[in-house]
Structure 1
């Protein structure tokens, strides 16, 4: 663990996991029941081992939710409601990015523009500041508003100053007009996130059909403890992703740990292709897992490869139990399990039962 100001790895101790509940005024309106079922499964697994911070839109009835939580066996003592309005539910990308330095916590509140202006995001962009004003964060936690677009799903860090990301996303002009000079942008990223500028790794390859994020890294490759990289592989030569994901794997083999050693790579199996009712390919990836204090929550899709994926993640995180969450409903909207969550490092939150203006 670094002594300097840094963005901690996901397996750093956490106060809570942040989620934004789906609602009728979001894109989930026509499939709200299916979406909520995923959130119930998530809370059913998570709420018995740690706290969960739940952002609720004004259209959501909290009493209805509490009744359903009882029915689903969710531990409500660890569920904390924040009454704030949102456009959508992708907490990974609109949630706070929290840095650590000793006992200090420092929030970087980047702008969120709906993945390059693809979707409305004005309310999501205001969520972090709204939570700050409601007293969700501890006294002394600083929040800095940064007038540049950056999403949590585009950042993968090891807590040792290394960043893994994709050029397709971070250097896309639909995010910021001033990010085209890569050296200058690396300097800004290093200052914002407490990175070692020599350990910013840019992937040239890797994407998922049906992904609206311009190739977020959290669908492709992830750090794990002890010099491990977990990545989404594709072994089907006739699949449109085969060449790109093979090229991405070759890139990952060239990377080195802070100690100068090759990473131990763990390949996740390629899930059977998923399609929506209109025949459009959906972005199913096992790399979109969530690391929590005691668990690794893995997205599953009701396909033959689910079991093997869980075994690979158990190998990568031997100190945590792997729990599968059926996320078939989530990929209908282009995201999966990691996309709907954001970890909040320990020592950041002032946890109460609820927060409202």
Structure 2
């Protein structure tokens, strides 16, 4: 039997632990962003660059660009951001990259199986399936493989033994056919060094649309400290996420973590703009933030709720500077700021 990270003394630290750097991937032509030279791809690159520059104020950033695209990436990203080239299909580093672990003064990484968010018809993943191993190697991490199909956006940990999951991701028959809940949970614990899982039944409604992930946890709920979870809240009873978010808050509020603490739920009210530019229900969510050294990079939607949520994060993280970055272009492609970033923790 091969050793697991947990058996070897590794665990995934919480996102608020110190980072050595942030990893991102650069948008290229594909079904999500359209063709080279098109406005959709140009908009995506500007949005990704804005996030990279916001994070760079707090810590080093390395962007993986597709073959032959490093020059264009450097031009838009500006000075002080490292760029490396590897073959790429898409640009969601949270999902295609490795999950970094620490233990005993060493860095390790889990290289999950990636299959295009459950082998979705539009997705391409021949290159992205290899990015986790590439990034782990570049970071000098000991790499562990697993048979579990999973993405970084499908997990959130407190660093003290607890992990948040959704049933429609790890138990998706197009990701892990035949896996039971107990088997998936045991494999997650073996890879992350966790011991208690809190399962939510589903993600936000729009995340089951064309470019969705089918229920990633990181737009629904996230740990903001030991025993504290921020949860997306949709106050509009006519919005399909009203019931989804109510159910999530109820489950989390009744749960205890691995240390036996009752979970404190902090509600993050959704933007007043509950629909996207096409009039469809949106999954705009302030939960999908990114913590970096001394900072919080928060999704903005040019909405009155932006500042209200920024104030909640200032209270949660008084020692960090909160930066709002417009995330509407990123959400239109299927994710948010957390989805395009991946932390490499300090050993």
Q: How does the TM-score come out when normalised to structure 2?
A: 0.89
Match of 2:328, SS state, is coil
CA distance in 2, matches of 1:120, 1:69: 25
1:88 aligns with 2:86: no
- Preserved CA contact (<8 Å) 1:266 1:316: no
Compared CA separation, residues 313 and 235, structure 1 to 2 (3 A): same
Match of 2:63, SS state, is strand
Cα deviation digits, residues 168-190 of structure 1 (max 9, x gap): 211111111242x2222222222
CA distance in 2, matches of 1:24, 1:160: 40
- Preserved CA contact (<8 Å) 1:87 1:123: yes
| Counterpart for residue 325 of structure 1 | 325
RMSD of aligned residue pairs (Cα, Å): 2.0
C-alpha displacement of 1:148: 2.4
Compared CA separation, residues 225 and 106, structure 1 to 2 (3 A): same
Match of 1:109, SS state, is strand
Match of 1:200, SS state, is strand
1:194-343 equivalences in 2 (<5 Å): 194-196=193-195, 199-211=196-208, 212-271=212-271, 272-277=273-278, 279-343=279-343
Please list every run of 5 or more consecutive structure 1 residues that lacks an aligned counterpart in the other structure. 71-75, 348-357
- Preserved CA contact (<8 Å) 2:19 2:345: yes
1:23 aligns with 2:39: no
CA distance in 2, matches of 1:25, 1:260: 46
Structure 1 range deviating more: 155-164 or 41-50: 41-50
| Counterpart for residue 166 of structure 1 | 166
Match of 1:56 among 44, 48, 65: 65
- Preserved CA contact (<8 Å) 2:207 2:214: no
| Counterpart for residue 127 of structure 1 | 131
- Preserved CA contact (<8 Å) 1:300 1:306: yes
Compared CA separation, residues 186 and 226, structure 1 to 2 (3 A): closer
C-alpha displacement of 1:26: 5.8
Match of 1:86, SS state, is coil
CA distance in 1, matches of 2:68, 2:28: 7
Cα deviation digits, residues 285-335 of structure 1 (max 9, x gap): 111101111111111111121111111122222221111010111111111
CA distance in 2, matches of 1:330, 1:254: 33
Cα deviation digits, residues 79-137 of structure 1 (max 9, x gap): 221210111001110011112112122211111111100111111001122345xx512
Structure 1 runs of 4+ aligned residues shifted over 6 Å read none
- Preserved CA contact (<8 Å) 2:111 2:132: yes
Structure 1 range deviating more: 246-255 or 20-29: 20-29
- Preserved CA contact (<8 Å) 2:70 2:85: no
| Counterpart for residue 5 of structure 1 | 10
CA distance in 2, matches of 1:345, 1:178: 33
CA distance in 1, matches of 2:173, 2:207: 20
- Preserved CA contact (<8 Å) 1:108 1:146: yes
Cα deviation digits, residues 135-157 of structure 1 (max 9, x gap): 5123xx31122232110000010
| Counterpart for residue 183 of structure 1 | 182
| Counterpart for residue 66 of structure 1 | 74
Please list every run of 5 or more consecutive structure 2 residues that lacks an aligned counterpart in the other structure. 1-5
Compared CA separation, residues 131 and 221, structure 1 to 2 (3 A): closer
- Preserved CA contact (<8 Å) 1:26 1:87: no
Residues paired across the two proteins, number: 331
C-alpha displacement of 1:4: 4.3
CA distance in 2, matches of 1:130, 1:146: 16
CA distance in 1, matches of 2:58, 2:246: 37
Compared CA separation, residues 332 and 209, structure 1 to 2 (3 A): same
1:336-355 equivalences in 2 (<5 Å): 336-347=336-347
CA distance in 1, matches of 2:144, 2:243: 41
C-alpha displacement of 1:259: 4.0
